[in-house]
Amino acid sequence: MRCTKTRGKKGVEHPDPDDPPRRRADKVRGHGTWANDRPPVLGVLARESGGIHLEVARTSGRAVLQPLVEACTSAGCTVNTDEWMAYDRLPDHGRKRVKVKHSRPHCEYARDDDGDGVREVHCNGIEGVWTGLRNFLRTFRGVSKKYLAQ
């Protein structure tokens, strides 16, 4: 039997094993889609100008992501990404791609490629934007996917 995790009922067995207690948050692994009510928010952050472009999408695959990156960047620029395969064809379209490997083993979050002591290869800026967006949306206790783009 499962125990409930609500205040005042810790250690009390749940009466119906076929109806487990409600769990917090959406624990589904993987990338979200519009269909599974986890719409992806795609984003491009310019390091030098500080410009940002955020867009709610139906899916987060290469077919959606690559045109967005191409529209928000100019040919010849360097795009810092994680190791996700959706970015693999950016060099074929005139963008230089440098990536950091977040997955185990040997994960990294920033890298110094030229040896000057500054870790210039990272995607911490856009990840900070996601943290700020998540903290902002948390105050509303969720936003309908229909209104998320606003």
Position 4 scores a pLDDT of: 47
Position 89 scores a pLDDT of: 95
Euclidean distance between CA atoms 93 and 62, whole angstroms: 13
Q: How confident is the model at residue 1 (pLDDT cuts 50, 70, 90)?
A: very low
Structure tokens at 137: 């949306």
Position 16 scores a pLDDT of: 77
Answer yes or no: is pLDDT of 49 > 70.
yes
Position 24 scores a pLDDT of: 64
b/e string for 71-105 if b means 16 or more Cβ within 10 A?
Answer: ebbeeeeebbbbeeebbeebeeeebeeebbeeeee
Q: Which residues contact 122 (CB under 8 A, 6 or more apart)?
A: 80, 100, 109, 110, 111
Question: What's the pTM value of the predicted model, to 2 decimals?
Answer: 0.74
- 51, containing H or E segment: none
Position 22 scores a pLDDT of: 64
60-89 per-position pLDDT tens digit: 999 999 999 999 999 999 999 999 999 999
Answer yes or no: is pLDDT of 131 > 90.
yes
Structure tokens at 129: 């934007």
How many other C-beta atoms lie within 10 A of the C-beta of residue 69?
Answer: 21
10-44 per-position pLDDT tens digit: 566 767 777 766 666 666 778 889 988 889 999 99
Helix/strand/coil percent split, the chain, to 5: 20, 15, 60
For 7, 79, 86, the CA distances from 127, given in Å and listed in that order, are 33, 14, 17
β-pair type (110-111, 41-45) = unpaired
